[in-house]
């Protein structure tokens, strides 16, 4: 399961270090990684400010703000671009408020908040799922937030649920005991990441006497000691209206919704009116208003971690002031100049020179303090002292010589475009309002901040560099890997069946759980948003398919494309060739070098990325609407005129080799690779994965030949959604790509049929130095055009489509507390399909979790599911899909993949009707045909303890 955790950056200027509760899946060639995300980069951009139309666009326009009598702050923003609404409750309570010895209790309480209330003693994840809500939660240093985005008629229901758990959370010993194990499993997942461990060690040194120096998720030692009474005290202290911000953004009427909010939340008492619970041993909470202690002076020598790993990391951290300090805009501009894009100072210094494979940075802006963190990734044989010297020299050069006017203008453009591009869906808009209000005390902060960015001068940038990024303020940490080879067990061994004793507790949501669902407002307003508009489709003479959908709700463009030039065409001895070609398309063309190509996009805040997956190359891009010509011209230049200079190709190869080392050091990546290779035989296109040897065999002529053979307009689909005029855009694309010609028929590849194993196959690759195991189990599945596709979606949603509301989640996560994340998925592609289950567990829990999962698979295969489960799964799938169409990136992706799979355009809206038509009998028939509990490939990768496990 892919666990989104660590540093979560919703906004360009604020890094929210969060621990997220639920998960998402990344499909395709790459495994969804368990990782501690140390940065979330912003969107990129240009050298002149946007037009007056953009410049005068207030991000927080049309927001209604009020405070109820009980102290609840309410922010309402009507956005009538889609019939959906986002409801978020932000509590001004995070890990910064934890007393000593209670590290992680805010995060633990976040988990407990999903376990039910005294009014609704049931898993809230199931209730949100039944409403079709795209829901989640996170804990940060300064806040804990709960959010859900639903169809507009579910607004009142979401409000009822959030109000219920604001005052009636069910916090008992049984739930705590189980959820502590889940949290520890989550923390073990973070421990697998060297970046997480290094970042934690440095922050502890920078902030030795303050909660900012402790991990948001807590430590295993503290979590194990949590008691029910402690969580109840924190809940009473911080979960109340006066300490909360309710944010609602979307398709609603402010007047009507405000009345509903007052009715539902208005009767929740202030904390001063709440009953008192005398307890002489009540924890002493840190004063939220007290200033943060000055960070300790760094010691001369860097902090060094020598542990198992694959790459060398160098991280430098510099203390900064709080989010609303006057220096922060200039610091953000400085960060962009240093590390944003190929033309940034530090990228040029250490990546273009070949010293490192990656450099990234973030300005962390929190309520009481902040820090600037700079991270460099390099191969173990690189000279770290030289890398650090080069970094210091680059910073010193900027200090001495200043920044150019072009650099300053580009960084400002990047920041301005980043704000606009990150406010294209209502969930993100609500996130910005909630974060601004709880971090700075003013939901309008982004507008003020952007105005301040526009006023930053070159002198301001140099001044903040000299003030904050000094050697004396720098704390450096180094991760030096003890390189050890992953011990792959490639020989497949069959094992006897494993059985588990189950309690009598039902894992099926009983029909009476329906009583806990709040009523749904079925009265629909007369609203133009119900109108369904299909994209306009054109095909150029060379076969290039174009689909255009106008959406002028924001002055932006979202581009998504596909070319049938994926890794399925890789020669076995040169696996990784397709990816190297895609990664090198922007390395230079007949008239532009790599820097010039990148600058054209960076100067305008546009992005354009190519990535090769199994069946094709995905193209992703976005820009402000006025910059679409530059985006299309750069795309066309890269596709038609790439020259693959040898120097740039070698840099890309080194980055690919570095990524491969990192993959083989991650249990999830190792498990996925061996899982796929255990299902599909060597002659199958899916069996191929890059190796060190295969990447080194690739020569420049191989790259040129691959691009010439497989990059063709007649296998390309291009989709654009945004503020555009279809006829004008069609003419623009035709002018840029209409002369792209090829001859002959497009190449094809054969996907032979593959039989499932005759028994259970267990493979346990060992990844040294890890604390958590990742398991993949499954077999071949259905293709996208299979008539059982929609039944399979419903079946999978019931079985494992969601960690909190599925049978897998209810049994393996909630009841047995064996995993933080578990889910299943039918990957139904055009030419093949795979069904898999993914879970993360402690090594000692892996066998029990696998056995329990197989038992659930067997139960559904033999006995089927219930009518209630089918109804709830259909609601979830339909609701989530409707929400996805309100996000430009997901909408564009849906349009693209429907075309790639050969579906009708109307599938965009027929999907929901097809889900509604699925019956209980069809789902149970699909369970009998598609679930095979006795024919599984099971791969568990992780610590060496797995090698000593015995399957009984």
DSSP per-residue letters across 49-67 = PPPHHHHT--TTTTEEEEE
Q: Is 645 exposed, middle or buried (0-12, 13-18, 19+ CB in 10 A)?
A: middle
Helix, coil or strand: residue 11: coil
Q: Which residue has the tokens 């009518």?
A: 867
Please state, in angstroms and rounded to a whole number, the distance separating the CA atoms of residues 776 and 764: 11
Please state, in angstroms and rounded to a whole number, the distance separating the CA atoms of residues 472 and 443: 35
* H helix count then E strand count, the chain: 31, 26
Residues 6+ apart with CB under 8 A from 737: 540, 542, 544, 632, 635, 636, 639, 640, 713
CB neighbour burial string for 658-681, b if at least 16 within 10 angstroms, e if fewer: bbbbbbbbbbbbbbbbbbbbbbbe
Candidates 539, 544, 534; CA nearest to 564 is 544
Helix, coil or strand: residue 393: helix
Q: What tokens were used for 791? A: 């039944």
CB 350 within 8 A of CB 387: yes
DSSP per-residue letters across 307-357 = EEESSEEEEEEEEE--TT-TTHHHHHHHHHHHHSSTTSHHIIIIITTTS-S
Q: Which residue has the tokens 């922010």?
A: 75
Q: Which residue has the tokens 């070698």?
A: 650
Q: Which neighbouring-strand residues pair with 536?
A: 548
pLDDT at 51: 32
Please state, in angstroms and rounded to a whole number, the distance separating the CA atoms of residues 857 and 840: 18
Q: What tokens were used for 429? A: 């808009």
Q: What is the pLDDT of residues 755-794, one digit of tens each?
A: 999 999 999 999 998 999 999 999 999 999 999 999 999 9
Please state, in angstroms and rounded to a whole number, the distance separating the CA atoms of residues 90 and 145: 4
CB 805 within 8 A of CB 128: yes
Candidates 230, 333, 249; CA nearest to 13 is 333
Please state, in angstroms and rounded to a whole number, the distance separating the CA atoms of residues 414 and 52: 16
Q: Which residue has the tokens 């150029």?
A: 540
Q: How many CB atoms lie within 10 A of CB 498?
A: 17
pLDDT at 533: 86
Residues 6+ apart with CB under 8 A from 795: 860, 865, 873, 923, 926, 927, 930, 931
Distance of CA 543 to the CA centre of its chain: 34
Candidates 757, 764, 571, 784; CA nearest to 680 is 757
CB 898 within 8 A of CB 909: no
Q: What tokens were used for 12? A: 């360009």
pLDDT at 234: 96
Q: What angle do CA 45, 145, 872 make, to 5 degrees?
A: 105
Name residues of the chain where pLDDT drops below 70. 1-58, 272-300, 483-512, 521-531, 945-952
Q: What tokens were used for 814? A: 């909630």
Give the E-state strand segments of 451-595 in sequence order: 475-483, 493-494, 536-539, 545-550, 556-563
pLDDT at 742: 87
Q: What tokens were used for 173? A: 């010993």
Helix, coil or strand: residue 98: coil
Q: How many CB atoms lie within 10 A of CB 919?
A: 12
CB 494 within 8 A of CB 345: no
Give the E-state strand segments of 1-118 in sequence order: 3-8, 16-23, 35-37, 63-67, 73-78, 84-91
Q: What angle do CA 388, 390, 395 make, to 5 degrees?
A: 95
Q: What is the pTM assigned to this prediction?
A: 0.90
Q: What tokens were used for 790? A: 């929609």
Q: Which residue has the tokens 């002031």?
A: 321
CB 97 within 8 A of CB 285: yes
Q: What is the pLDDT of residues 859-911, one digit of tens each?
A: 999 999 999 999 999 999 999 999 999 999 999 999 999 999 999 999 999 99
Q: What is the dihedral of CA 177, 179, 180, 186, to 10 degrees?
A: 160
């Amino acid at each position: 399961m892919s666990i989104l955790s660590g540093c979560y950056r919703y906004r360009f200027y604020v890094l929210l270090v969060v621990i997220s509760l639920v998960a998402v899946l990344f499909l395709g060639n790459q495994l969804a990684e368990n990782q501690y995300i140390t940065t979330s980069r912003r969107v990129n951009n240009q050298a002149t400010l946007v037009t007056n139309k953009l410049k005068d666009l207030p991000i927080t326009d049309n927001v209604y703000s009020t405070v109820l009598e009980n102290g609840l702050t309410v922010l309402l923003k009507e956005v009538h671009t889609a019939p959906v609404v986002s409801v978020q409750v932000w509590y001004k309570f995070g890990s910064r408020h934890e007393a000593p010895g209670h590290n992680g209790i805010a995060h633990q309480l976040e988990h407990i908040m999903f376990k039910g209330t005294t009014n609704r003693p049931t898993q809230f994840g199931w209730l949100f799922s039944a409403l079709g809500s795209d829901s989640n939660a996170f804990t940060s240093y300064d806040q804990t937030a709960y959010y859900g985005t639903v169809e507009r008629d579910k607004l009142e229901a979401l409000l009822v649920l959030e109000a219920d758990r604001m005052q009636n959370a069910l916090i008992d010993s049984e739930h705590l005991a189980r959820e502590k194990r889940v949290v520890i499993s989550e923390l073990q997942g973070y421990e697998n990441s060297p970046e997480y461990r290094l970042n934690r060690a440095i922050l502890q040194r920078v902030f030795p006497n303050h909660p900012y120096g402790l991990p948001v998720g807590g430590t295993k030692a503290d979590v194990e000691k949590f008691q029910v009474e402690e969580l109840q005290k924190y809940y009473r202290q911080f979960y109340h209206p006066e300490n909360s911000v309710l944010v609602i953004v979307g398709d609603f009427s402010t007047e009507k919704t405000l009345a509903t909010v007052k009715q539902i939340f208005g009767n929740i008492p202030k904390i001063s009116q709440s009953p008192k619970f005398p307890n002489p041993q009540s924890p002493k909470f840190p004063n939220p208003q007290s200033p943060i202690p000055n960070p300790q002076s760094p010691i001369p020598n860097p902090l060094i971690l020598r542990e198992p790993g694959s790459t060398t990391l160098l991280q430098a951290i510099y203390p900064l002031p709080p989010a609303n300090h006057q220096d922060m805009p200039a610091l953000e501009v400085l960060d962009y100049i240093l590390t944003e894009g190929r033309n940034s100072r530090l990228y040029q210094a250490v990546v273009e020179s070949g010293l490192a494979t990656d450099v990234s940075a973030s300005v962390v802006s929190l309520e009481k303090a902040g820090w600037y963190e700079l991270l460099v990734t390099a191969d173990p044989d690189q000279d770290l002292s030289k890398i650090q010297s080069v970094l210091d020299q680059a910073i010193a050069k900027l200090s001495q010589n200043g920044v150019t006017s072009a650099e300053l203008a580009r960084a400002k453009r990047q920041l301005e475009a980043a704000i606009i591009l990150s406010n294209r869906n209502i969930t993100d808009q609500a996130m910005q309002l909630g974060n601004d209000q709880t971090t700075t005390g003013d939901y309008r902060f982004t507008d003020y901040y952007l105005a301040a960015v526009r006023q930053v001068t070159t002198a301001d940038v140099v001044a903040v560099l000299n003030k904050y990024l000094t050697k004396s303020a720098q704390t450096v940490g180094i991760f030096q890997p003890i390189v050890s080879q992953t011990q792959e067990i490639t020989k497949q061994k069959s094992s006897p069946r494993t059985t588990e004793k189950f309690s009598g507790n039902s894992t099926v949501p009983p029909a009476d759980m329906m009583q806990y669902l709040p009523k749904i407002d079925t009265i629909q307003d007369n609203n133009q948003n119900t109108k369904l508009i299909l994209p306009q489709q054109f095909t150029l003479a060379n076969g290039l398919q174009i689909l255009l959908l106008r959406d002028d709700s924001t002055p932006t463009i979202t581009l998504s494309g596909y070319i049938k030039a994926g890794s399925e065409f890789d020669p076995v001895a040169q696996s990784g060739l397709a990816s190297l070609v895609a990664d090198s398309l922007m390395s230079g063309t007949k008239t532009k070098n790599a820097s010039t190509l990148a600058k054209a996009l960076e100067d305008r805040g546009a992005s354009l990325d190519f990535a090769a997956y199994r069946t094709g190359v995905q193209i992703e891009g976005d820009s402000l609407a006025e910059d679409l010509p530059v985006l299309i011209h750069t795309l066309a230049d890269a596709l038609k005129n790439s020259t693959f200079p040898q120097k740039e190709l070698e840099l890309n190869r080194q980055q690919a080799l570095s990524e491969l080392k990192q993959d083989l050091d991650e249990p999830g990546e190792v498990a996925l690779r061996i899982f796929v290779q255990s299902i599909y035989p060597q002659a199958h296109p899916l069996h191929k994965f890059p190796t060190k040897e295969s990447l080194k065999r690739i020569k420049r002529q191989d790259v040129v030949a691959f691009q010439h053979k497989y990059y063709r307009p007649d296998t390309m689909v291009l989709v654009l959604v945004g503020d555009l005029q279809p006829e004008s855009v069609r003419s623009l694309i035709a002018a840029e790509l209409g002369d792209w010609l090829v001859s002959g028929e497009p190449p094809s590849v054969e996907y032979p049929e593959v039989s499932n194993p005759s028994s259970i196959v267990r493979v346990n690759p060992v990844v040294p130095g890890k604390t958590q195991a990742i398991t993949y189990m499954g077999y071949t599945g259905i293709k996208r055009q299979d008539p059982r596709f929609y039944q399979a979606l419903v079946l999978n949603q019931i079985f494992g489509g969601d960690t909190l509301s599925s049978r897998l989640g209810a049994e393996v996560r909630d009841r047995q507390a064996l995993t933080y994340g578990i889910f299943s998925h039918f990957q139904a592609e055009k030419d093949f399909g795979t069904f898999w289950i993914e879970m993360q567990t402690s090594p000692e829990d892996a066998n029990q979790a696998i056995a329990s999962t197989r038992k659930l698979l067997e139960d559904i295969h033999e006995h089927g599911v219930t009518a209630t489960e089918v109804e709830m799964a259909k609601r979830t799938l339909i609701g989530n899909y409707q929400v996805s169409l309100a996000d430009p990136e997901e909408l564009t992706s849906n349009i693209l993949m429907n075309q790639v799979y050969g579906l009708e355009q109307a599938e965009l809206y027929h999907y929901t009707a097809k889900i509604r038509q699925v019956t209980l009998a069809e789902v149970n028939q699909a369970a009998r045909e598609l679930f095979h509990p006795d024919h599984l490939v099971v791969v568990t990768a992780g610590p060496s303890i797995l090698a000593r496990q015995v399957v009984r």
